[in-house]
Structure 1
Amino acid sequence: MATTWTHQFIITNKNAGQSIKQTLKMWLLPQRIRGALRIKKNYLVNGNEVPTSYELQVNDKLILRFDDEDFRTSESHYPPNSSQRVGIVFESDDFVIANKPAGMKMHPHTLTEDDTLLNYLAADFSERNLVSAGVSARPYMVHRLDRETSGAVIVAKNPVIVPILNRMLADKKIKRTYLAWVAGKMSSSSGIINAPIGVDIDDSRKRMVNGIDQQSAITHWTQIHMVFQKTLLRLQLETGRMHQIRVHLAAIGHPIIGDSLYGSTVGTVRMMLHATSIELKLPFDGGTKMISVPMPSDFPRQLSRQ
């Protein structure tokens, strides 16, 4: 049976005086989805059909309906696994920000896998009987953290919000901040690494600066403090390439401590990379939120000499 997702909005001063067409565009709904709403007449204002040129007024009730076929990925079926609870540090009607532990995969790669973040969130949503956009909430991937990385990650609860959040990521409207312990002493207090990243010439699992099919990549870093030739950095991504922080830091001679692919695991039990915060404007709402995740117990504030 086809699924229909429904969003309802009471118009405030933020959108009053704008046409429906302008409002949907401002909300970053993709053109193909805006077109589907218009062609199917899958929107109502105060229960009535109106043209997309209609100017919204304060207290108007706008209803949007979305069908399976409107989305490139409309279904999200991850077998629920309730054996482990993942911390949720922020939740809206449309998405959560989860606190992923180091060592946990984001999603299954085979049909038999069920020990991933999305499996645990599927169980959490089901047990809490969550509803999102009028139907039972399910986890949808928005962006990823490497298995070895801990911290804040966005997971959608319905397919409507996925392309909106993806557009916000592409437009650099979502600010992601990381902490990393790296080897060595930095030559300055801050810097920018601007180096394209592509597939490693010798190992397709890895990425490298100036590799195959390279894409632009920019990482900003700031030194927090140094101890025993090990430095704690705060990092922000301007782009989101696979393994970007790991590759960039290794390329400048300061690999992340505990990184088995690009650094050294000597003296650590995990890779010392933690996604500490996410800042974004809430879709549809417009208000800005900064969500922080504290450093976990296995991510020390100080490191030993060894």
Structure 2
Amino acid sequence: MTLHVEIINPYPATTVKELLETKLLIPRKIRHFLRTKKHVLINGETINWQSPVKEGDRISLTFDTEDYPNKTIPMGDANLVKPLYEDSHLIVVNKPEGMKTHGNKPTEIALLNHVSAYCGQTCYVVHRLDMETSGAVLFAKNPFILPILNRLLEDKMIQRQYWALTEGKFQTKKTVYKDKIGRDRHDRRKRVVDPRKGQSAYTTVTRLKTFEGASLVNCQLKTGRTHQIRVHLSHHGHAILGDPLYSHQPASRLMLHAHSLSFTHPLTLEKVTVKVKSESFEQVLRNHKS
């Protein structure tokens, strides 16, 4: 596999070394290959590592098979993909409830396989949604952009917001949960609040609407622990309706939907904001009494 990447530098003047290392976040091993093979061109010309790169310069990168080993997965059904945003490097799609983001086994078909079929190439998961959750999911189209997007996620520069229909009524407009989350020792499927051994977790909950015995809230994540929203809400007496693990209140689906995803595109510095609704989520809301 040979991968060619061309971008117009959106960053202020710097050196080639600093651009690849601190802006494009290319791993050290890959930077070494690019330098020794002279696979970096600025405006069509070969350069040295301390050459200046100005905003607007055209940067050409070439990666060989040994730089990014080729990965293949089974292709799914492209017709099942509903793209929300797409360019040559990444894609955001609308995941339906009841579909896994990625399979647990190499032969298992999930959203990742369908997205790869849609794009005509193997794609990569940047973040995931629980199988029962619907909404916006971000995928990398190539191994070059994947570590860059992973770093944005780690640095909390990808903002994710969810709607949830929960049990009970919130007394305040905004609530912040900071309870640490760990594994449930008695049920491997579940997570619990664990002040001693849990990982830090931060969820901001904003009340949007109150129903009879239920509340519609917006949840914004600063961390991405497994089942984070579900655990935080249920721990504080506001389990999500239809949650098969943490709630006893039935619904036709888990009432959790990732309605908004926003980030600054690392290769263009464009602000990308994607919003999406869910008909099945809206239908359950319509059936609730205010």
Q: Same fold (TM over 0.5)?
A: yes
Distance 1:158 1:261, change over 3 A: same
Please give the alpha-carbon distance, in whole angstroms, between the structure 1 residues aligned to 2:149 and 2:185. Answer: 32
Q: Which residue of 2 aligns with 1:285?
A: 268
Q: Give the Å deviation of 1:235.
A: 0.6
**One-letter code aligned to 2:112:** L
Question: Is the aligned partner of 1:18 residue 2:8?
Answer: no
Question: What are the ranges of 5 or more consecutive residues in structure 1 without an aligned counterpart?
Answer: 127-136
Question: Is the aligned partner of 1:105 residue 2:100?
Answer: yes
Q: Which residue of 2 aligns with 1:244?
A: 228
Query: Secondary structure of 1:176's partner?
Result: strand
% identical aligned pairs? 38
Alignment of structure 1 residues 230-241 onto 2, 5 Å: 230-241=214-225
Please give the alpha-carbon distance, in whole angstroms, between the structure 2 residues aligned to 1:227 and 1:31. Answer: 53
Q: Which residue of 1 aligns with 2:199?
A: 215
Q: 1:65 aligns with which of 62, 65, 68?
A: 62
Please give the alpha-carbon distance, in whole angstroms, between the structure 1 residues aligned to 2:70 and 2:238. Answer: 41
Distance 1:269 1:125, change over 3 A: same
Question: Is the aligned partner of 1:9 residue 2:11?
Answer: no
Please give the alpha-carbon distance, in whole angstroms, between the structure 2 residues aligned to 1:49 and 1:176. Answer: 40
Distance 1:70 1:265, change over 3 A: farther
Q: Which residue of 1 aligns with 2:31?
A: 34
Question: What are the ranges of 5 or more consecutive residues in structure 2 without an aligned counterpart?
Answer: none
Q: Are the equivalent residues in 1 in contact too, given 2:78–2:118 (CA < 8 A)? A: no
- Cα shift readout 1:175-215 (whole Å, capped 9, x = no counterpart): 00100000001121111000111111211221111078521
Distance 1:299 1:213, change over 3 A: farther
Q: Give the Å deviation of 1:87.
A: 0.6
Q: Are the equivalent residues in 2 in contact too, given 1:179–1:276 (CA < 8 A)? A: yes
Q: Runs (4+) of structure 1 moved beyond 6 Å? A: none
**One-letter code aligned to 1:7:** V
Alignment of structure 1 residues 1-306 onto 2, 5 Å: 3-11=1-9, 14-15=10-11, 17-24=13-20, 25-57=22-54, 60-71=57-68, 74-82=69-77, 84-114=79-109, 116-126=110-120, 137-210=121-194, 213-266=197-250, 268-300=251-283, 301-304=285-288
Please give the alpha-carbon distance, in whole angstroms, between the structure 1 residues aligned to 2:61 and 2:259. Answer: 34
Query: Secondary structure of 1:15's partner?
Result: coil
Distance 1:4 1:206, change over 3 A: same
Please give the alpha-carbon distance, in whole angstroms, between the structure 2 residues aligned to 1:16 and 1:198. Answer: 42
**One-letter code aligned to 1:279:** S
Q: What is the CA RMSD across the aligned residues, in angstroms?
A: 2.1
Alignment length, in residue pairs?
287
Q: Are the equivalent residues in 2 in contact too, given 1:227–1:303 (CA < 8 A)? A: no
- Cα shift readout 1:34-63 (whole Å, capped 9, x = no counterpart): 344234432122333211211124654321
